[in-house]
Structures are given as structure tokens and as C-alpha cells.
Structure 1
Amino acid sequence: METNKLKQLEEKIQEYETIISEMSAPIIPSIVPQTILVPITGLIRAERFEKIRVNVLNFISNKDVETAIIDLTDISGERVEGVCLEEIGRELHELSSAISLMGVRTLFVGLNPELVKRIVLDGIRLEAQTFADFQSALTHLMKEKGLEFRKIAE
């Protein structure tokens, strides 16, 4: 009987880990057509990048997406667990390369100075545009597409 309860608990833990993993890098359609936002939050572990990459590529393959905005605002030295900043730089390079191979442009937003320093010192090339924040990236995309916010007359 105890083995059965233990197995049920293990299954529940696995289910919760899956939910948490999916929530910590959700894929959100943007107000700019054919654009998605992927905010990466929470503790960063090497195995999470693989899950994020797979989720993003699967989403892109089933949708009409031209641009993926990867938001790294929440990534800092203390949020990284078991991964050095250099490795995060390499993971970001692989993520943007994979997205690019799917015909989708990558924009990174919210890179912090510590991560930028490691990326530059390690000679990692991010083949993507970068912006200080999500709003700057959206403003750029809207100008590119000839879109603008308008106040609706009441």
C-alpha cells in the first residue's frame, strides 16, 4: 500500500514540475501580428533551456510566427543555478540559431550588464537584435510594420 502512495506522490511531483516548467517560459502572442513573447523567469538550469528551445520550436512550427521576443529581464547571477553565465550565453546563441533556422527572427530584451559582459568576454555571438526592454522591441516592430497606437474616440 505504501508503494502505491509513494508512486502517486512521485507522479504528482512530476506533474507539478511540468506545470512549473511550462509556466516559467510561457509563449505569449503579442499585440504585434505574427510576434510572440517568451519571458524566461525563475531559476535557470541547463536542462530548462532544452525544454524552452523545444517548446518554442514546436510552437513556431504550428503557427504563423515571424518574430520571437525572448525576454531575459529576470535573468541575473542569483537566478542561475548550476549554470555559469558563459553557458547561458551559449544557450542563448543556440536558441536564436534554432529559431532562425525555422525562418523566425529573434529579438532579445532585458539582458543585464553581468550577462552581457560574459557574452562579450567569451566571444559568443548572438545573431539577434537586442533591446533594453519589451516596450522598446514592440515600438521598433510596430514602426517596422507601419503600425501605431491610436486613441479610440469616445
Structure 2
Amino acid sequence: MNKDEYIKSLEKRIEEYEATIADMTAPIIPSIVPQTILVPITGLLMAERFEKITVKILKHIKDHDIEFAIIDFTDITVERIERMCLVELGQQIRNLTESIHLMGVKPYFVGMTPQLIKEIVLSGIELNAETHATFQAALKHLMKINNLVFQKI
């Protein structure tokens, strides 16, 4: 294998690793509530990565019959935002919200830290999404509005 072939094989391997990491750090999980997905956002956030997460969510919505999308920010702290200010993250979240709405899906955001919420409010960004403190609270709400209950078998 010559030098150029070796470099191309390494570049291909890096792309594959990046795709694997992207899948692992924003998995799309079907919920117990029908037509509902959970997307926990984890890892370091950069603008390019958040855009990829947005595209991934929108593609999944397009390919599946989804009515509600719960985006979980529990793991996102100020330390996890790399090369991205909180105002920029707020704008990215707003873009995600509007994109999900345009797909006919209702977004729910859970797990936002007080500091993230403060920055979003102070930046004047309006999020057209319902928020809940936890994933469990959002699921409980969705079960209630869909008249779903847990039953013992």
C-alpha cells in the first residue's frame, strides 16, 4: 500500500468513527408513548455537531410516523459546550425547534440547566416548545394528553 492509499484509508476510517460517535452521542430512541421519540443530547457540543444532530432528527421524523420529539439536554452543561457560546446554542435550539415544527411534530425539551435557560431568556430567543424538568415528567404529560395509563397485568 502506497502513502496516498494509506492516507485515504485512514481518512475513511476517521469518517466512519465520526459517524459512529455521532450516532452514539444523539441516539433516537422510540418511546413507550406511540409516535414519540426521545433524543438525549450528550457529549461536547459544537455548532457543526448540533447541525448534524438536527439533520439526523429531521431525517428520522421524515422516515417515521412521529408526532412528538422529546429532546433531552440533561447532559449539556457549560463545560460541555465547546467553541460555542450559550447564545449560539440558544439559536441552534431555536432553529431545531422551528425545523421540528415545520415537519408537523411537537417538540418537548427536558433537562435544561438553569444557566442554559438563563442565557436563552437573556438573549431574547423565544422557543416555541413545551419544556419539562425531566424526561419522566414529559412522558407523564404525553401519556395524560393521549389518555394512556400503565396497567398491571
TM-score by length of 1: 0.96
**In the TM superposition, what is the alpha-carbon distance from 1:2 to its structure 2 partner?**
2.6
Structure 1 equivalent of residue 67 of structure 2: 66
Moved >3 Å (runs of 4+):
none
Unaligned runs of at least 5 residues, structure 2 = none
1:83 maps to 2:120:
no
Structure 2 equivalent of residue 105 of structure 1: 106
> Percent identity at matched positions?
57
* Deviation larger for 83-92 or 6-15: 6-15
Residue 143 of structure 1 aligns to a residue whose secondary structure is helix
TM-score by length of 2: 0.96
**In the TM superposition, what is the alpha-carbon distance from 1:107 to its structure 2 partner?**
0.2
**In the TM superposition, what is the alpha-carbon distance from 1:13 to its structure 2 partner?**
1.1
Residue 75 of structure 2 aligns to a residue whose secondary structure is coil
1:27 maps to 2:5:
no
Unaligned runs of at least 5 residues, structure 1 = none
Separation of aligned partners in 1, 2:151 and 2:90: 38
- Say how many residue pairs are matched: 152
Q: Given residue 70 of structure 2, which amino acid in structure 1 is its aligned partner? A: I
Structure 2 equivalent of residue 11 of structure 1: 12
Separation of aligned partners in 2, 1:11 and 1:102: 33
